[in-house]
Amino acid sequence: MRKKIVSLQEAVSEIKRGDSIGIGGASLVYKPMAAVREIVRQKITDLTVYSLMGDVDVDLLVGSGCSKRICAAYVGFPMMGFAQNFRSKVQNGEISFKEYSELTFVLGLRAAAMGVSFLPTRSLLGSDLLKVNTDFKVFDCPITNQKTVAVPATKLDVALIHAYQCDSLGNIYALESQIMTDLLVAFAQAAKKTIVTVEKVVKGEPEKDTRLMLPKYEVDLVVEAPYGAHPTGFLPLYTMDVPHITEYTIASSNPKAYEEYLDKYIYSVKDHEEYLKKVKKS
Amino acid sequence: MSEYAKDYGIDELMIVSLAREMRDGEKMYLGAATPIGVIATQLARVTHAPNLICIYGMWVNPDPYTNYMAVMADPTAFKTIKAEALIKLTDLHDLWQRGEIDFGIIRPGQIDQYGNINNSVVGDYFKPKVRLPGGVAIGDVAHLCGRLLVYVPRHEPRVFVEKVDFITGPGHLEEGKWRKNLKISGRGPCKVITDLCVMGFDEKSGKMRLESIHKGVSLNEVKENTGFPLLLPEKIPETEPPTVNQIKLIRERIDPSNMRSLDYRPRK
């Protein structure tokens, strides 16, 4: 059997040009950023990216040219401004954006996770999202006869997730007080292949104050990547790095400064360990 | 008991006006990045609505006197949030879909005279002048939550437009008949509270109607900052001021670190 715990380079090289990828987490927490940076480093392109609430993850993949197709319910930095690459490239037509609401984004993942072709909802019937996201289909419900929206299953090639811990068997554990783990599970179950980066790998039993999040059969590859969500947060372990996010949002407003950012934190950096030294997390 | 405060800020008046729309025993939902909404619900809980169930993101009824929003900046505060429950994202979505949320609070990018809300684009959808971040759950709560309380910290024409460029979350389409015809469970926007006034919606036409003006604000100021003709009542009352007790609770107990200033900046 193939080794499950591998290097970040090896895991990310499983993602192929043109794949649809799901990014776990939402709005500056739990984003698998070490894996996202490795995608940029390996220059894997033409990716279709699903992120419930995109921020630095989506903006990096757009700004580095890895993705021209974004699917999300929101892309921006709440109370900290626009995601500049995303905003300008949608405005000038360089990339396409498939817009969801929060509920319908999650229903799409859940449908794929359940192995059904769609899930029904009474949301969005009066929203223009129905007109611009033509994946949504309106039908008369055979049970109630009411107009209903079909949200098609979002089948992903690869799900990227950052989690707390992996035991020696490859089971993935969350911290007891971690939030939104059900979203991470939905991403994993919606994907053909799931790559999980973890804060730490333990020998034998998982630590106390943890709970099983993904049994090993839901997980294909595991990578040890402490601070792997940086600069987003991993509550309650660490919060987002506000100065770094600010540095990012400033750099992304100017093409030259953005090239310098990519070079400084990604292209000139060999791996995640070196990145952590650069951002003073090791 | 209900002695009115003489000195209060517009942010505090918006908080109190929102809180007055909440009833005891209701269940409410609030997304991220809405400090004024959080403070208003906590104020309602410690005054007239002790049995209000507040769901902020995934937290149910965080302690009103611990600084919930400080979590955004401080991971140690995350551990100190004393909430009655921490629910799953899908549990929250199920509550919406079952129609069990009595009201939601939102802050729109654009809103028009029928209460349609746009947080998606300015201009043409496929060639936008400005691509806004997106509505997150605004499209959902506009259909599924009982009523929507809308607040706008800066009442200005670019927010209050005659017709939104894009409907992320619908208001009162077809002069308000749409919800009835399609049996939509949510009733849509019912109050709009700004730094100038309080507005509601006319039942017959579905159009926005002025209800009261804040102290020191003129009707002209409201009109100049609204991009469409507002329906006007025969007599326009002054917005009921906060009580001494409400102000004391906001300043000293609920929001001593002034997180409301992240949401509201006074006009020059």
Q: What is the pLDDT of residue A147?
A: 96
Residue type, B166: F
Chain A interface mutation, best of B59, B112, B125, B131, highest count of A Cβ atoms under 10 Å = B131
Span A139-167, mean pLDDT?
A: 97
* C-alpha–C-alpha distance, residues A255 and A263, integer Å: 12
Give A148 to chain B, closest Cα distance, Å: 10
Alpha-carbon torsion A131, A134, A138, A139, what sign?
Answer: positive
Q: B-chain residues within 8 Å CB-CB of A82?
A: 133
pLDDT value at B33 more than 80: no
User: Do A103 and A122 contact (CB within 8 A), yes or no?
Assistant: no
pTM metric for this prediction: 0.96
Q: A-chain residues within 8 Å CB-CB of B120?
A: 99, 128-129
Query: What DSSP line would sit under B167-234, residue for residue?
Result: -SB--STGGGHHHHHTT-S---EEEEEESSEEEEE-TTT--EEEEEE-TT--HHHHHHT-SSPPB--S
Mean pLDDT score of chain B, rounded to an integer?
A: 92
Q: B-chain residues within 8 Å CB-CB of A132?
A: 125-126
For CATH 3.40.1080.10, list the domain ranges present in chain A: 8-101+155-278
Q: What ipTM describes this predicted complex?
A: 0.94
Q: What is the pLDDT of residue A281?
A: 81
Q: What is the largest CA-CA distance in chain A?
A: 60
Q: Taking CB atoms and an 8 Å limit, are A104 and B140 in contact across chains? A: yes
Q: What percent of chain A has pLDDT over 90?
A: 91
Span B59-63, mean pLDDT?
A: 89
Chain A interface mutation, best of B106, B136, B175, highest count of A Cβ atoms under 10 Å = B136
Q: B-chain residues within 8 Å CB-CB of A125?
A: 143, 182, 184
Query: What DSSP line would sit under A130-148, residue for residue?
Result: HHH-TT-EEEE-TTT--EE
Q: Closest partner residue to A90 among B93, B128, B173, by Cβ?
A: B128
Q: B-chain residues within 8 Å CB-CB of A147?
A: 182
The 10s digit of each residue's pLDDT in A34-89 is 999 999 999 999 999 999 999 999 999 999 999 999 999 999 998 888 999 999 99
* C-alpha–C-alpha distance, residues B172 and A132, integer Å: 21
Span B65-70, mean pLDDT?
A: 69
Q: Supply B37's token pair.
A: 């909404």
pLDDT value at B37 more than 80: yes
* C-alpha–C-alpha distance, residues A185 and A106, integer Å: 11
Q: Name the CA radius of gyration of chain B, rounded.
A: 18
State in Å, rounded, how far the first CA of chain B is from the last one: 34
pLDDT value at A19 more than 80: yes
Query: What DSSP line would sit under A42-103, residue for residue?
Result: HT--SEEEE-TEESHHHHHHHHTTSEEEEEESEESBTTTB--HHHHHHHHTTSSEEEE--HH
**What's the fold here for domain A8-101+155-278?**
Glutaconate Coenzyme A-transferase (3.40.1080)
* C-alpha–C-alpha distance, residues A79 and A103, integer Å: 22
- Residues B57, A28, A185, CA angle at the centre, nearest 5°? 70
Q: What is the largest CA-CA distance in chain B?
A: 56
Side-chain half-sphere CA neighbours of A209 within 13 A: 7
Q: What percent of chain B has pLDDT over 90?
A: 81
Alpha-carbon torsion B100, B102, B108, B110, what sign?
Answer: positive
Chain A interface mutation, best of B58, B79, B93, B121, highest count of A Cβ atoms under 10 Å = B93
Q: Supply B79's token pair.
A: 């551990």
User: What does each C-alpha distance from A94 to A62, A89, A91, A207 come to in angstroms?
Assistant: 10, 5, 8, 46
Chain B interface mutation, best of A123, A125, A234, highest count of B Cβ atoms under 10 Å = A123
A46 close contact with B: CB closer than 8 A = no
Q: Taking CB atoms and an 8 Å limit, are B75 and A103 in contact across chains? A: no
pLDDT value at A227 more than 80: yes
Q: Taking CB atoms and an 8 Å limit, are A103 and B137 in contact across chains? A: yes
Q: B-chain residues within 8 Å CB-CB of A128?
A: 120, 125, 166-168
Q: What is the pLDDT of residue B184?
A: 93
Q: Taking CB atoms and an 8 Å limit, are B131 and A97 in contact across chains? A: yes
Span A182-205, mean pLDDT?
A: 97
Q: Taking CB atoms and an 8 Å limit, are A177 and B58 in contact across chains? A: no
pLDDT value at B153 more than 80: yes
User: Do B30 and B4 contact (CB within 8 A), yes or no?
Assistant: no
pLDDT band at B90 (very low <50, low <70, confident <90, very high): very high
What is the DSSP-derived secondary structure letter of residue A207? P
Q: A-chain residues within 8 Å CB-CB of B135?
A: 73-74, 101
Structural domains of chain B ordered from first start: 1-101+241-260 (3.40.1080.10), 105-239 (3.40.1080.10)
Q: B-chain residues within 8 Å CB-CB of A72?
A: 134
pLDDT band at B1 (very low <50, low <70, confident <90, very high): low
Give A86 to chain B, closest Cα distance, Å: 9
Q: A-chain residues within 8 Å CB-CB of B134?
A: 72-76, 99
* C-alpha–C-alpha distance, residues B83 and B86, integer Å: 7
A138 close contact with B: CB closer than 8 A = no
A36-50, A158-172, B24-38: range with lowest mean pLDDT? B24-38
Q: A-chain residues within 8 Å CB-CB of B58?
A: 179-180
pLDDT band at B81 (very low <50, low <70, confident <90, very high): confident
Residue in A232, A166, A191 with CA at minimum distance from that of residue A28? A232
The 10s digit of each residue's pLDDT in B234-262 is 999 999 999 999 999 999 999 988 889 88
Q: Closest partner residue to A103 among B96, B129, B170, by Cβ?
A: B96
Q: What is the pLDDT of residue B73?
A: 53
Q: What is the pLDDT of residue B268?
A: 81
pLDDT band at B83 (very low <50, low <70, confident <90, very high): confident
Length of chain A as a residue count: 282
Q: Taking CB atoms and an 8 Å limit, are A90 and B166 in contact across chains? A: no
Q: What is the pLDDT of residue A141?
A: 97
State in Å, rounded, how far the first CA of chain A is from the last one: 33
User: Do B26 and B53 contact (CB within 8 A), yes or no?
Assistant: yes
Q: Closest partner residue to B136 among A73, A79, A183, by Cβ?
A: A73
Greater confidence (B79 vs B255) lies with B255
pLDDT band at A235 (very low <50, low <70, confident <90, very high): confident
The 10s digit of each residue's pLDDT in B117-140 is 999 999 999 999 999 999 999 999
Span A118-144, mean pLDDT?
A: 97
Span A99-115, mean pLDDT?
A: 98
Regarding beta strands A172-175 and B197-201, do their DSSP bridges make them parallel or antiparallel, or are they unpaired? unpaired
